[in-house]
Structure formats: structure tokens, C-alpha cells
Structure 1
Amino acid sequence: MNSNPLEPVIRAAGLDGVLVSFATELSEPANRAALAFASAVGRAGIDGVEECAPSLVSVFVRFDPLHLRLETLTRRLTSLLSGQDWYDAPLPDGRRFVQVPTVYGTDLAPQLEEAAQAAGLSPEAAQQTLSDARVRVQTIGFAPGQPYLGLLPQEWDIPRQTALTKAVPEGALVVAIRQLVLFSVSSPTGWRHVGQTALKLFRPDSDTPFFLRPGDEVQFVPVSRDVLEQLRDDPDGGARIEAIR
């Protein structure tokens, strides 16, 4: 039996797209379903499908309408959906566990105390829960290579700020609504800046320009400022990477 109260929904998205949605709001099962189904669509090798990209709870499928009819694609996707319970599906192969050295608080990440207060925690407890969390890359978006990660424990269901921070630097770790975002470029944000890394997420000259991929798991391991400064010249920011088997 499907463990999610909602059934997947297929909708047309423009003239050459289809959106397969597994929920109306973020949850672990819905994100799992999106990641697993996107991988399955890729393996299915449907002629005429040109792109398949998962988001938090949906999968966007772009197709060539000159070679594949919407009705035909919808039938193929419906058949694929009926093959298993995607909310309890195994996550795709090839995922990695990445441990990223992170400075929490200080002037490098000045909103840790504010975020901790919003979560009802002391700064020390906030750092502990954030650094203990092993979070999944749920999707890549907003900026090139930029991951949304979660879900954090319930106490981190804190709102965004009512005003924007003018800019956080590349490598900034920010938090809101039970998620973390790690910034691939300097940008304004309404999320609170709680940690700072030296990791370069977007590498346009590389064969794999996005360092993290949906489904990867990440832990932000606390280090001192001195250690972080020594890692600035390493594109991986000192990250330790191992395959998830």
C-alpha cells in the first residue's frame, strides 16, 4: 500500500514538458520518490525524452514534441509509476557521503545565535544538532550547483527572515524550514547564515561542474577558523568523500 496519502499526479508543463508530482509539500518520502523516479525515467530510455530533472517533490520531464506525443509520454510515465511504491523506493545508485569542514558562528557565520534562539536552542546545542545531522541533497537549484539539504529535526522548522541579508559569501551554510542551503555563489538570502565552508560547489571548467548531486548525503563537521583558512585553496574545502553502498 502506498505510504503517502497523496498519489502521484502528472501534469503538462508547457508545450514540451511534463511534471510528475509526488506531494504538495516537502517530506522525506516525497523527496525519495522524486529522486528514485527520476533515476528510473533515465534508465527507461524513452525515445524523445530530452531531459529529466528531480526537484524537492516532483520530476520535470522535457521531451521533443516532434518525435514524442504528450499522450504517449503520459502513458509511459503512468505505466512506470504503477510499477512500485515510489515513496518507499530505494534511492539511486552512485550516491556519496560527503563530510564538509565547517566553521559555525563567529563573524564568518554571524547568525548562529539568532537561528538557535528561533529553534529554542542554545548556540552550543544548535551547533551540535546541525553538525550531527546527516542530510540528503534533495535538489539542486536557485544557483548553479546549489543544494537544498534536509530534513533537519523538527525544532529547525524556523521561518525565513522578514528581510533579506544583503549577501552571504560562497560556501555559506544557511538554515530555515528544516532545510540547509549551501551557497555556490555570493548572493542575497532570507535564510540565516549559521556556518561557513571553503567548498566550491560550482566548477564551470570541470567535466562535472556541480560538485554535489541529488541523493548525496552531507554532514557539516565543525572545525576551527584556522583550519578553515588552511583549506581555502582546496576546491573540495577539505571534504572527505566516500561512496554509499
Structure 2
Amino acid sequence: MTDDLAPMASYPLLRTAGIDGMLVSFGDKLSEPANRAALAFRAALESDPPEGVEEISSSLVSAYLRFDPLALSHAALESKLRGLMASRDWLQADLPHGRRLHRIPTVYGGTLAPQLAEAAAEAGMSAADAVTSLSTARVRVTALGFAPGQPYLGELPETWNIPRQQGLTPRVPKGALVLAIRQFVIFSVTAPTGWRHVGQTAAPLFRMGAERPFLLAPGDEVEFPEVSEEVFARMQNDPEGGASWEDLP
């Protein structure tokens, strides 16, 4: 496919990914329209998957297909994908049905989330104003990645377009709400990170064997209302970690 090497190619852009994968991208960086398009395109593929396709997933701005090249040729799949790509303006497509709005109570700052003040200073605001901004924001799950059920959420207001740290925090706990480049991430496991730890949650993101093992799904929306450390301590005994959800229209 010639557009694999076209540096200024227009979107959507179709590329091969190894001998058994294809990638349809809707932008070269995260934006609301590009993420919307990736989610909608994935949903369209899942509603009518081509025979021979074995996996369909999405990332921040792309939809990925893994297929059996013995059952489905590259040329046949390319033809199907190009037809779907041309069928509508995916940047204006409706988001998939079945999405949820989650509310995940969060402690901001203090000993549980020690980098809130640093993040606030990077954004040019006080710690109190930062908590107000972050706790009232509604963000979309743009993708899952890095660890089971771990979400990337965005985009936050432009003031939160702050860089990652230059160094590495050796360890943040499971449930850490971290922030950089207008995005949240909630850690589903204990891990090192270069993102700033601004909040702490108690909701389990991954439950092995559950009907829905991942709490959050791409396209869901999430709010992180502020709670005190005392309320957080009680939520740790709640199997849901204080989280609740409702269906989105």
C-alpha cells in the first residue's frame, strides 16, 4: 500500500501492521474528533466483522484489525476497509451505543497523591483551583493500554497541557490518578511512572472472571469527584471502591 510511506498523507490513513494486521488511523495525535472516529470505526467493524478477522481493537486515534491471512487476503481486506473509510465522515460520527458515565470518588493531594501541588504549579494555578478543575472535569476513556483495564482519559482543558516529568517516580500504587499532556491515567497495577500523581482512587479497574472484567471501556465517560481521606478510607472496604455508573444516552 503506497500510503504506508506518505509522510503528509491525508486521513483516514490505512497501513499494514505485520503480515496479519491492518491499522486505520484518523490523525497523528490525540484529538476529540480523531478519537471519536477511531471508536466509531471500531464499533462499525465489530457490528459486521469481515470473515477471517480475529481481533478488532482501538487506540487513541486508530482502529486495528488482526486477521488470518490464510482465510482473508490483504487485498480483500484492504478493499473492504477502504469502502468503509469512504462511507461517511468518521470525524463527525456518532459515538458507539452502550457507553457508561462513571463517577469515581478521588482524594486529591496530601500524602496519598503527593504531586498535586507540582502539577498545579505547572498549570499556573493554586492547588485548590486545581482540585476544583480536576474534580469537575468529565473526560472520555480514549483507550485502554499498558496494563489490564488501565484507561487513558481526556482531554482535560488546555491549561492541563503540562509535560511529563523529566525524571521517573519509582512507584505509584494501584488506583493512582496521574496526569500529563491533558490526560488522566488511572493505574490498575503498582508501577513506575513519569506522570504526576495528583489523586488516589479505590475502584478496582480489573476483576478476573467477571462478566465485564474491565470497569471502564473505550468511549465511556468519567468524573472524579473529590472526597476526603476519611471517606476514602471507608471506600477501601467497598468492593466497588465507591464508584458508580449510569448508562449514557
TM-score of the pair, normalised by structure 2: 0.95
Q: Is 1:93–2:91 an aligned residue pair?
A: no
Q: Structure 1 residue 194: deviation in Å? A: 0.3
Q: Is 1:17–2:15 an aligned residue pair?
A: no
Q: Is 1:32–2:33 an aligned residue pair?
A: no
Q: Structure 1 residue 239: deviation in Å? A: 1.0
> Could you list the per-position Cα deviations for residues 35-58 of structure 1 after superposition, in whole angstroms to 9, with x for gaps in the alignment?
000000111221011111000001
Alignment equivalent of 2:49, drawn from 41, 45, 56: 45
Alignment equivalent of 1:175, drawn from 179, 185, 191: 179
Distance 1:234 1:201 in 2: 14
Tell me the SS of whatever aligns to 2:23: strand
Q: Structure 1 residue 235: deviation in Å? A: 3.1
Distance 1:39 1:91 in 2: 9
> Could you list the per-position Cα deviations for residues 96-116 of structure 1 after superposition, in whole angstroms to 9, with x for gaps in the alignment?
000111000010000000000
Alignment equivalent of 1:194, drawn from 198, 208, 222: 198
Could you tell me which runs of 5 or more consecutive residues in structure 1 were left unpaired when the two chains were aligned: none
Q: Is 1:119–2:85 an aligned residue pair?
A: no
TM-score of the pair, normalised by structure 1: 0.97
Q: Give the corresponding residue for 1:83.
A: 87
Distance 1:236 1:88 in 2: 35
Q: Structure 1 residue 208: deviation in Å? A: 1.9
Would you say the 8 A contact 1:198–1:235 is kept in 2? Answer: no
Q: Is 1:204–2:221 an aligned residue pair?
A: no
Aligned residue identity for 2:114: P
Q: Give the corresponding residue for 1:59.
A: 63
Identity of aligned residues (%): 57
Q: Give the corresponding residue for 1:106.
A: 110
Could you tell me which runs of 5 or more consecutive residues in structure 2 were left unpaired when the two chains were aligned: 1-8
> Could you list the per-position Cα deviations for residues 100-136 of structure 1 after superposition, in whole angstroms to 9, with x for gaps in the alignment?
1100001000000000000011101111111111000
Tell me the SS of whatever aligns to 2:65: strand
> Could you list the per-position Cα deviations for residues 41-95 of structure 1 after superposition, in whole angstroms to 9, with x for gaps in the alignment?
1112210111110000011100011100011001101101111100010000000
Q: Structure 1 residue 207: deviation in Å? A: 2.6
Distance 2:202 2:220 in 1: 18
Distance 1:186 1:235 in 2: 19
Q: Structure 1 residue 234: deviation in Å? A: 2.2
Q: Is 1:229–2:225 an aligned residue pair?
A: no
Distance 1:29 1:235 in 2: 35
Q: When the two structures are aligned, how many residues end up with a matched partner?
A: 241
Aligned residue identity for 1:211: L
